[in-house]
């Protein structure tokens, strides 16, 4: 079958790499893709915010499945429009993607279905939000309600910081995303990412993974989209997985059914593993990036039947096999990220670096120009490896990085430190 994959990040490169291995695949189209994906499929600069253009492209190319990588097209209702046109898609419809698109929506579900999460208030006026913050006292977490590209969460240590953050939100710092504000108590504990495939009724947990959100070694520096990841995450024990499925995932799936807007796709729960058990920090309506890269590296089964079963509502008939061996990915980013950075520097040595078996280099922000690989984004490369132990996977990934000649790039040198401590 022909498949269209939407997105251009490391997550989509990993998905494309895995989809391209499927015996079910005839042609993979990727919109827009990046410089690393040219050999896996046909790249197209289709404007994916023009839903009719996507429908026309799908029909013209006999595409039987559309896989949506990032959240923005989901929240914009691309899957709704595809399904109305009779086209099968992997990803939730707009009303279900609100689990990521509106933090207040998710918090209200938590309240109504008794799902463990941080205590919170939800406000659409400045005065009420400030009054609540003052009544609760610091520390507090202030969140813009909508999608704010990962920047809409302020961890306020003092009441003054909280009030400033609230004022920033309402004065438009996060655009429309900040028109409503969620204020939460601060939770403590290690964080974990937890992924399930769900077809609206059945849920199939994926292998566990953990990312590294801070820019620099030792979990220092500003928050980023993720500087590296590993799988499995020893911290997510079988008992914790079971507890998370029962207390967080199952009631969420039930809630979305009850609302008449079942959630289909990959559901990504950001968890805080508190002393009182796992609590939900947030949902995402997509795979984590870079968690997806390590999950795809460890997935032994064909991905395409899993995507189809999710879209078709037949996940109860599917099981997934995983390589027992751990995987790890190190993100190489342009110096300056997550702040400002220069675009267009050249990266050399990728052929040598990716030569060893069990090393895959997934591109995120790259473009190919006259045969040269240029850095075009903040997060640029994902050096991904799988080995018998996490120690070996880590050593292998850093050996590969040494072969990459890119003075304008940087990376963390301690990816998987927590897993190494625990093994």
Residues lying near ligand AMP in the complex (CB under 6 A) are found at 118, 141, 153, 184, 186-187, 191, 213, 270, 281-282
* Terminal-residue alpha carbon distance, the chain: 42
The four Cα atoms 225, 230, 231, 234 give a dihedral, to 10 degrees, of -110
CB 382 within 8 A of CB 290: yes
State which residue, 269 or 350, has the beta carbon closest to ligand GLY: 269
Q: Are strands 63-68 and 89-90 parallel, antiparallel or unpaired?
A: parallel
Phi, psi of 332 (to 5 degrees): -105, 125
Give the residue nearest to ligand GLY (CB): 226
Selection from ligand AMP, ligand GLY, none that 282 binds (CB < 5 to 8 A by kind) is: ligand AMP
Selection from ligand GLY, ligand AMP, none that 408 binds (CB < 5 to 8 A by kind) is: none
Q: Does 365 bind ligand GLY (CB under 6 A)?
A: no
SS (HEC) of 340-389: CCCCCCEEECHHHHCCCCCEEEEECCEEEECCEEEECCCEEEEEEEECCC
State which residue, 308 or 331, has the beta carbon closest to ligand GLY: 331
State which residue, 288 or 365, has the beta carbon closest to ligand AMP: 288
Selection from ligand GLY, ligand AMP, none that 288 binds (CB < 5 to 8 A by kind) is: ligand GLY
Q: Does 284 bind ligand GLY (CB under 6 A)?
A: yes
State which residue, 274 or 325, has the beta carbon closest to ligand AMP: 274
CB 353 within 8 A of CB 404: yes
Of the candidates 80, 184, 199, 291, which one interacts with ligand GLY according to CB under 6 A? 291
CB 390 within 8 A of CB 332: no
The minimum distance between CB 230 and ligand AMP, in angstroms, equals 17
Q: Does 408 bind ligand GLY (CB under 6 A)?
A: no
- H helices of 225-339, in order, are 238-244, 250-258, 291-298, 303-312
Phi, psi of 357 (to 5 degrees): -60, 150
Of the candidates 12, 184, 199, 289, which one interacts with ligand GLY according to CB under 6 A? 289
State which residue, 31 or 118, has the beta carbon closest to ligand AMP: 118
| Region from 42-50, 287-295, 361-369, 407-415 binding ligand GLY, contact rule CB under 6 A | 287-295
The minimum distance between CB 284 and ligand AMP, in angstroms, equals 8
Q: Are strands 214-216 and 346-347 parallel, antiparallel or unpaired?
A: unpaired
Distance, CA of 159 to CA of 139 (rounded, Å): 7
- List contacts with ligand GLY (CB under 6 A): 211, 225-226, 284, 288-289, 291
């Amino acid at each position: 079958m022909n498949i269209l994959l939407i997105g251009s990040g490391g997550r989509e490169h990993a998905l494309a790499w895995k989809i391209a291995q499927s015996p079910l695949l005839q042609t993979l189209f990727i919109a827009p893709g990046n410089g690393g994906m040219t050999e896996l499929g046909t790249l197209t600069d289709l404007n994916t915010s023009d839903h009719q253009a996507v429908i026309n492209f799908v029909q013209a190319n006999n595409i039987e499945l559309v896989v949506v990588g990032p959240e923005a097209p989901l929240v914009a209702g691309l899957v709704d429009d595809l399904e109305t046109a009779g086209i099968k898609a992997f990803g939730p419809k707009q009303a279900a993607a609100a689990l990521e698109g509106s933090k207040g929506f998710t918090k209200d579900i938590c309240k109504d279905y008794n799902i463990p999460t941080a205590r919170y208030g939800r406000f659409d006026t400045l005065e009420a939000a400030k009054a609540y913050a003052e009544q609760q006292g610091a520390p507090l977490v202030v969140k813009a309600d909508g999608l704010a590209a990962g920047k809409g969460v302020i961890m306020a240590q003092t009441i003054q910081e909280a009030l400033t953050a609230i004022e920033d939100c309402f004065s438009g710092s996060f655009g429309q995303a900040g028109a409503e504000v969620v204020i939460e108590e601060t939770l403590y504990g290690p964080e974990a990412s937890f992924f399930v495939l769900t077809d609206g009724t059945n849920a199939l947990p994926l292998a566990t993974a953990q990312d590294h959100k801070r820019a620099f070694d030792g979990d220092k520096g500003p928050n980023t989209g993720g500087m590296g990841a590993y799988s499995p995450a020893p911290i997510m024990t079988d008992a914790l997985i079971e507890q998370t499925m029962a207390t967080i995932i199952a009631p969420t799936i039930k809630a979305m059914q009850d609302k008449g807007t079942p959630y289909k796709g990959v559901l990504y729960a950001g968890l805080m593993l508190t002393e009182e058990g796992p609590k939900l920090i947030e949902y995402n309506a997509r795979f984590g990036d870079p968690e997806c890269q390590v999950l795809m590296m460890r997935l032994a089964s064909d991905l395409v039947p899993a995507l189809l079963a999710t879209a078709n509502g037949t996940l109860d008939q599917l099981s997934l096999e995983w390589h027992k061996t751990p995987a790890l990915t190190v993100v190489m980013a342009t110096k300056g990220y997550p702040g400002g950075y220069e675009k267009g520097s050249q990266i050399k040595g990728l052929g040598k670096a990716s030569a060893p078996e069990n090393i895959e280099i997934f591109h995120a922000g790259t473009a190919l120009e006259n045969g040269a690989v240029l850095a075009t984004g903040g997060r640029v490369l994902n050096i991904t490896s799988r080995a018998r132990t996490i120690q070996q996977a880590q050593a292998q990934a850093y050996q590969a990085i040494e072969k990459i000649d890119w003075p304008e790039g940087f990376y963390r040198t301690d990816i998987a430190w927590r897993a190494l401590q625990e093994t």
